[in-house]
Amino acid sequence: MPSIVSVASGERAQGKFQLKRAGTGVVWGEGVILTNAHIIEGHKELRGRTFDRRVVLLKELARDELLDIALLGPVNTGSLGAPPVISKSQRSAQVGMWVAAIGHPYDMSYSLSVGAVSALSRGLGLKGWRGRFPGFIQTDLTLNPGNSGGPLISACGEMFGLNTAILGAAQGLSLSLPLSRLTPVIDRLLSEGHFERSYVGLTLKYVSFKHSERLKIPPRTGVRVKRVVSDAPGYLANLKVNDIILEADGVAYHDATELSWRLISTPAYQPIALKVLRETDGVIQSLELTLSPWTLADQKHRHTVPIP
């Protein structure tokens, strides 16, 4: 618990701090607190309360609104003390795994909820998350306002994800951002101050059972190209509609969400080696995809990857 802090945002009125939103934060690194961006959105004064009950003025270091994460640090160097950095898991979450969430629901002190992982790679069809490819870990944990920004941990106390959202009025359906999303974004936020997504110009979809039968490939193999935007990076790489992307840089994919994230999170102009099965002749080809920066002009293709 010393690696977990409460986070509050608000305004100063008549010389007093007026609380507007409360949540949780995780000590990600020395002097760096990870939380959800929506907790601090639109408010000028940020505060943290540590495990040893010290109240610390915080400032924003960087944020990525599309993934709803923000990095905070103490206004006054050293005021945070030396809380331990949270232990991060080297394993991926698995369905059925027992997990727990620690946070500050309704701005109350530390509270723990226990449950299990229900599903992986959620978010493709969730309202408000279209085109963001969060790859949520779904759990049956009970999360309340104030739990946002807290860690999803294993039975060993290692962090697997960041508790971020619940699905409407559903009960026992909580969503956490996995470390596979968080780590590369945070690394670039800390080194560059921002995280830019690259433009691909493709619409990707899973390979149906009938499609895999027709192509004589095992089920859950590859990702199908549903649409190619003219003159976009995917088009220039010679990708065709109904191509099956089997691998990207030697890694096999069968989930459209995971491959989409792999592509858009790669820095622009960095080539990606693709292994592609062409539907028309059944031949496996090696292609090179070089992504371009995402610009406002690309917003007319709002159904393509990514969507701002």
Last residue of a domain, one of 192, 227, 257: 192
Indicate whether 77 pLDDT > 90: no
What percentage of the chain reaches a pLDDT higher than 70?
A: 93
Indicate whether 296 belongs to any domain: yes
Last residue of a domain, one of 174, 192, 210: 192
- Break the chain down into helix, strand, coil percent, rounded to 5: 15, 40, 45
One domain for residues 156 and 182: yes
- What is the domain-level CATH number for residue 207? 2.30.42.10
One domain for residues 26 and 105: no
Arithmetic mean of pLDDT over the chain: 87
Place of tokens 């990076």: 233
Q: In whole angstroms, how far apart are CA 146 and each of 9, 108, 138, 210, 252?
A: 12, 8, 18, 45, 38
This prediction's pTM: 0.86
Largest CA distance in the chain: 73
| E-state strands within the chain | 4-13, 16-29, 32-35, 45-49, 55-64, 69-74, 98-103, 111-122, 136-139, 151-154, 159-166, 174-178, 198-199, 202-206, 223-228, 244-248, 251-252, 271-277, 284-290, 292-293
Q: Are 303 and 202 in contact (CB under 8 A)?
A: no
Last residue of a domain, one of 135, 162, 192: 192
One domain for residues 206 and 118: no
Indicate whether 59 belongs to any domain: yes
Indicate whether 306 belongs to any domain: no
Indicate whether 131 pLDDT > 80: no
Indicate whether 57 belongs to any domain: yes
In terms of residue numbers, what domain contains 68?
A: 4-74
Indicate whether 92 belongs to any domain: no
Q: Are 276 and 287 in contact (CB under 8 A)?
A: yes
Indicate whether 212 belongs to any domain: yes
Tokens of 33: 């607190």
Indicate whether 296 pLDDT > 70: no
Q: How many domains does the chain have?
A: 3
- What is the domain-level CATH number for residue 11? 2.40.10.10
One domain for residues 64 and 140: no
Cis preceding-peptide flag for 267 (omega within 30 of 0): no
Q: Are 138 and 126 in contact (CB under 8 A)?
A: no
Residues with Cβ within 8 Å of 171's Cβ and at least 6 positions away in sequence, in order, are 142
One domain for residues 187 and 209: no
One domain for residues 138 and 217: no
Write down the pLDDT at residue 124: 66
One domain for residues 112 and 176: yes
Indicate whether 92 pLDDT > 90: no
One domain for residues 218 and 187: no
One domain for residues 203 and 284: yes
Range in 107-111, 130-134, 258-262 with the lowest mean pLDDT: 130-134
Indicate whether 306 pLDDT > 90: no
One domain for residues 244 and 268: yes
Indicate whether 241 belongs to any domain: yes
The conformation of residue 213, written as its DSSP 8-state character, comes to H
One domain for residues 120 and 62: no
Range in 6-10, 76-80, 163-167, 230-234 with the lowest mean pLDDT: 76-80
One domain for residues 134 and 187: yes
Indicate whether 87 belongs to any domain: no
Indicate whether 76 pLDDT > 90: no
Write down the pLDDT at residue 295: 67
